[in-house]
Amino acid sequence: MLRRPRRNRQSSAIRAMVEETTVSVNDLIYPMFVMEGQNLTTEVKSMPGIFRYSLDKLLDELAVIQDLGIRSIALFPQIPEAKKDKYATESHRQGNIYLESINAIKNAFPEICIMSDVAMDPYSADGHDGIVENGQILNDESLEVLAKMAVAQAEAGADIVGPSDMMDGRIGYIREALDDKGFINVGIMAYSAKYASAFYGPFRDALDSAPKFGDKKTYQMNPANIREALVEAELDYLEGADYLMVKPGLAYLDVIKTLNDNFNIPIAAYNVSGEYAMVKAAAQNGWLDGTRTMVECLTSLKRAGSKVILTYFAKEYAELVK
Ligand code: PBG
């Protein structure tokens, strides 16, 4: 036998030397949840180890994760039901908990990259990502709200805005609105191939953001489709997106690879709440080695082609490699 592939696996040094994909903490974005109030830390039931924080507690936690080497976060707000309405007006009201938090984080931790979430659902009485009329999600009317939200977030100090709504034309619309206000250097991470997925359940628990009626299938994509992901990605690219995201990540590695092969801007993957919950649940039952499974999942996402990974495992991974 001339070819013995096992030779390159003989020692830890050799295995490390020939390792093709290594996840760096630099690649990770840590999603975090903020809520109104003071001195509050509530664990999300379906996401062990993940908490909703009031702003004071969030700032404490940011000091911890910055020490661990985490440099980027994605922030999501939990909004009290009483502040939700049809038009998600709370989303761009000056001084709302979300904008206040972005501002406070930027001041306290100027080096941390803050990615904001541009979508109506946390603020929408209907729990949808667009304005609802007669059971329909209105596209063009929703763009205006999204643009207002994005500009308010940029004003508050967001480095990157992340439209997660899947309305048509929103990247270009938001890009123009940001540029008009002089925010030419605020980036856009487009949730380009965002699927109508069952894996978002725990996140919706965390934010009480589940749709009040129906589902999101008229705007989020059918999990069966990949050619459509290329259409979405191309539009977002042409409209000025700086990153193209695939969401969820693990069940969509082929989509990540296809986008990475076809576009020369960074591809991001969202290792979503349900993917995190599955690993945690199995690990808590002693059915899986949680740490090894985490590393394998993150490595797979990177190997498939996502340079950037949004993951609830960011803190645990940073602790592991420190
Ligand atoms: C919607 C949004 C979703 C997530 C973040 N923003 C999905 C949804 O509720 O449709 C899910 C993230 C996760 O599951 O971790 N704007």
pLDDT digits (tens, 9 = 90+) for 114-149: 999 999 999 999 999 999 999 999 999 999 999 999
To the query of whether residue 181 is one of the catalytic residues in this protein, the response is: no
Q: Which atom of ligand 1 is nearest to the CA of 211?
A: 9
Q: Which one from 148, 247, 280, 315 is the annotated catalytic residue? A: 247
Which residue, 145, 147, 142, 138, is CA-closest to 174? 147
Pull the structure tokens for residue 21: 């994909």
Establish whether residue 209 lines the binding site of ligand 1, counting it when its CB lies within 6 angstroms of any ligand atom: yes
The reply to whether ligand 1 has any atom less than 6 angstroms from the CB of 164 is: yes
The yes-or-no answer on residue 247 being catalytic is yes
Mean pLDDT of 285-309: 98
Q: What is the pLDDT of residue 214?
A: 93
Chain centroid to Cα 112, Å, comes to 16
Q: What is the structure's pLDDT at 84?
A: 97
Helix (H, G, I), strand (E, B) or coil at 279: helix
How far is C-alpha 189 from the chain's CA centre? 9
- Beta strand spans in 45-86 (E): 51-54, 72-78
- Answer whether 256's CB lies under 8 Å from 191's CB: no
193 SS3 class: strand
Of all atoms in ligand 1, which is nearest to the CA of residue 201? 14
Q: How far apart are CA 270 and CA 192, in angstroms?
A: 11
Pocket test for ligand 1, best of 209, 212, 252, 312 (most atoms within 8 A of CB): 209
Three-state secondary-structure class, residue 86: coil
**Cα 119 to middle of ligand 1, angstroms:** 9
Q: Domains in the chain, start-ordered, CATH in brackets?
A: 21-321 (3.20.20.70)
C-alpha 170/C-alpha 148 separation (Å) is 12
Identify the burial level of 301 via C-beta atoms within 10 angstroms of its C-beta, where 0-12 means exposed, 13-18 middle and 19 or more buried: buried
- CA-CA distance, 171 to 165, in Å (whole number)? 10
- Report the distance separating Cα 123 and Cα 134, nearest Å: 19
How many other CB atoms are found less than 10 A from the CB of residue 21?
Answer: 11
Q: Are residues 55 and 109 in contact, defined by beta-carbon separation less than 8 angstroms?
A: no
| pLDDT value at 107 more than 90 | yes
- Please check the confidence at residue 207 and state whether its pLDDT lies above 90: no
Residue located nearest, by CA, to atom 2 of ligand 1: 164
pLDDT digits (tens, 9 = 90+) for 9-34: 999 999 999 999 999 999 999 999 99
Residue 46 and residue 18: Cα distance in Å, rounded? 38
Q: What is the mean pLDDT of residues 60-65?
A: 98
Q: Is the CB of 307 under 6 A from ligand 1?
A: no
Mutate to test the pocket of ligand 1, among 34, 272, 309 (most ligand atoms within 8 A of CB): 272
Distance, in Å, from the CA atom of 53 to the CA atom of 36, rounded to the nearest integer, reads 8
* Amino acid 272: pLDDT: 98
The residue whose CA is least distant from atom 3 of ligand 1 is 200
- Whether ligand 1 lies within 6 angstroms of the CB of 203 is answered as yes
Instruction: Return the HEC string of 30-55.
Output: EEEEEECCCCCEEECCCCCCCEEEEH
Confidence bin at 205 (pLDDT 50/70/90) = confident
Q: What distance in angstroms lies between residue 95's CA and the mean position of ligand 1's atoms?
A: 23
Q: Residue 14 in 3-state DSSP?
A: helix
Average pLDDT score over the chain: 97
CB neighbour list of residue 239: distance below 8 Å, 6 or more residues apart: 169, 171, 172, 175
Which of 146, 177, 172, 308 shows the shortest CA–CA distance to 238?
A: 172
Q: How many Cα neighbours within 13 Å face the side chain of 2?
A: 0
